[in-house]
Amino acid sequence: MAALRLNPSLGTPLYVQVVEHLKHSIATGAIKAGEQLPSVRKMAEDLLINPNTVVRAYRDLESEGIVELRHGSGVFVRESVSARTDLMKKAEPIIRAAVDRLETLDLDEEDIRRLMENELAVRRTARQARKRRA
């Protein structure tokens, strides 16, 4: 948590900065599923921010289904969040290998992006067509 640097002089409200940071930490696995987040008091003192700002950030994460508030015991990262994080982790090497191969064909970033979007669009259209037939 020590790495979290808030910048009040940005226009972005502090609670949004806290939410973004925690989401990032959860997505990268720095904070794991089932793990308890620091208490409001601890977090406020560590980050030097008003405790209500921490409460608001935790509530936002709760309404997005990322954490759950267990009464009397604290705030925990939901287990379901980890499934997603794990999947993203599994997907990373697949996409890396694919991009490596595409680059050997001398395709640049823009080409690769266009190919990827094109492929996704084709699949989307096919899916919609199947749905219409059904």
Residues that bind another protein (CB under 8 A): 6, 8-14, 40-41, 44-45, 48-52, 56
Closest approach of Cβ 40 to another protein, in Å? 8
Separation of alpha carbons 98 and 112, rounded Å: 10
- The torsion region of residue 34 among left (phi > 0), alpha (psi -120 to 50) and beta comes to left
Q: Are 48 and 55 in contact (CB under 8 A)?
A: no
Task: With residue 117 as reference, give the H or E element that holds it.
Answer: helix 109-133
DSSP assignment letter at 107: -
- Which residue number, 45 or 108, has a Cβ lying nearer to another protein? 45
Q: Identify which of residues 33 and 74 has a Cβ nearer to another protein in the complex.
A: 74
Identify which of residues 24 and 42 has a Cβ nearer to another protein in the complex.
Answer: 42
